[in-house]
Structure 1
Amino acid sequence: MRWLDWNNATEAERAAALARPAARIDRALRDRVIEILDDVAAKGAAAVDEWALEIDGAAVRKLDAGAISRAAEGALNKADRAAVIAARDAVTRFHEAVRPKDSPRIETVPGIECQRVWRPLDTVGLYIPGGTAPLLSTLIMLVIPARIAGVRRIAAVTPPDKDGELPPVIAAAAELCGLEEIWLAGGAQAVAAMAYGAGMPRCDKIFGPGNAWVAEAKRQASQRPGGPAIDMPAGPSELMVIADASADPDIVAADLLSQAEHDPYAQIVLAAEGEAVAHAVQDALARQIDMLPRGEIARASLAEGLAIIVSSADEAAAAAEAYAPEHLSLNIENADAMAARITRAGTVFIGAYASESFGDYCAGPNHVLPTDGAARAWSGLSVDSFMRAMTLQTVTARGARDLAPTAARLARLEGLEAHARAAEFRR
């Protein structure tokens, strides 16, 4: 890991150390995604199948609820099934509690009542990553809030496994979450299919993490005329841990490694209160990393990681606010007090017992979160991500009579006579 002494670093040095790596989307990848989207826009489902055969070795295939159920048979033993159900239920409880509610009707002036109401999106697309790790947890995190929101149609895609089939654990999670249709498709071609309705429903919004191809396809599709909205900008997963002398170095190291094993580009940051804490965590990392099946991936991530040496909780909080991490773990004394000061993070884990893994799987809040500094402005996924808000305005005869002069005068100040007349006709 790289080291930075926060107190002795200049503002420029701090900014440089906290900067995410330059975008890894090379020109060839970007151009290839353009080619795929253009091809699907022109030729529809046939183009999706052509690209799927070239990239995945199998044409796109739809599985309905019955096929999903058959694929799920025997996928989970009793204990594994109970774990999936426990995660599903915790995610359900949290998201049901935070479902946005319509505002009361507000009389802004006599005779004018206004209200903000929420409506579900009509059709959404969910990308469930596969590849080296079939992420059944992402399926739970996407399907549950979509269903609670009341989305009419949920179209999910996931890459086929090495045998060209639906990964059984994905099938089992889909069945337990009530998902009724999945298309076996991955990569940019799957995003294009959802964006253009090529062989599957045309989606109003596309959700879910993925590799660089998926992220770039989502970005490009959302910027095309009439293209779908997307959940949020996507980048490598990231974790920042703030640790003081009260923290167990083995726990801090385990948390950092849990994120580092995602992929070589995962962003790992430690803010340690004193060099002794940082050295203890570094020693624990060295002890633990050789025990991991994905140790080489974790090692590559840690090689680009950052250890920030701070001398106080104030400095640690300042570093966290400057970085705006996807995940922030507070393994310190008085963690609640620091959490109250944090304004820029996807999610915050408070105290030594709060493992980031709990949030990834089964604590309840969503694990689809803003990365790459987007937590400065973006929120993590929730039920409202699958809804849109609109306002209702009810005007009585009295309200129109009283408000028309004000509206007309303001319209004429802007030089918009038709606006003024439309208001005055109501009198």
Structure 2
Amino acid sequence: MYIYQRCFFLILTLSLLNPAFAGSQLNTALRAQQQFSQADHSQFFKTTDAHLSFAALDLDYEAGGVRVATTFSMTKQQRTETKFTISEAYYDFSLAQWFGSVGKKKVDWGVGYGFRPLDLFSPTKSLALYTAVPPGSYVVTGDYFTQRGNVSLLCNESKRLYLDKGRATTSSLGCGGRYYHYFDNVESQFIAHFDRRMGWRVGGSAVTVLREATALYGSLLWQSRYQSPTFKRGLNNAWTQTTWHENSLQALIGVNHSMMAGVNIIAEYWFDGRAPKQHQWRQVLEMGSASLRGHYATQNLFQHNLMLHVRGHDKSWQPSFTAVLNPQDSSMFIDGKLCYSQIQGRQFCAGARRYLGSALSIYGQLGQQQVAYLSLEIKL
């Protein structure tokens, strides 16, 4: 696989050096963040205050149907790590009535904010402390457009999303398609995808506008195979083991309301059948052993989640507030952030996140009581 990747990037490099590529565009951006974590008592994780520094330089170039996006990043916590990532490198082309792409590309069919079941291939973690668009996956896609929708066909290399003992699981190959249709007041899509490791993933979504400023949306996904941590108990000890499971549902329903004052309110409920059940968490919390920290490696910590997100839009200031609640043990986290972007091409943000819950709650055992953060983004 690496040979094909190197050949593709060589072709892209030679193409970008071709003077026939007119109308080219180069964008650069500098990102930086500082995080300060205050530790809390935990039976699973080390409980010491921590400081994390992150800096990244993003470059993307477009010309003649070719797009290349790269990131050079440096993270410093207990040690310094540098990383060079090719986020996207693909070529767009047309053939008869079809529009195609080949290369490494971010393909996102998701609907929602806090949880997006249909963002299948390289999901964006929108609730992370620092959200950046993740690198794409290697794909070959084709789109055929009609007056009220389009048909998409795709073959791809699946991203290694699940961490097994801190290491990403192996990637695999898959193919699938999407049918998108726009009715008078409803946008809908149906998706079917088969992956050699995960099997079938079948789902769909719908978005409708109730009023001019209010939208209702939902999505549903069935997955035939998935990985998840499983609690194991012996005579004298207990541990967590990653195993394959069959048949899971992921569902989301939400409402998005925009106000004249520039305030946007999003309320969502989602269910993730891949996450541990409440009785499984109860067993883990009762044991309270550091060897069980792998139970926190699941995609979502809880099966049931409630979220409220409020943000304001202004030329200079952009405040936001997010609260995510686990209704089964009443634990939650709240996050407040304020950004300033009066200076063109520059954004400064400051925020704090606090985890709330009893010692017997899931959030209460994360080992972090609160996190303060500062971030800066400059478009060069």
Coarse TM-score class (shorter-chain normalised): under 0.3
Structure with bigger helix share is 1
Highest CA radius of gyration, 1 or 2? Answer: 1
Structure with bigger strand share is 2
TM-score where L is the length of structure 2? 0.26
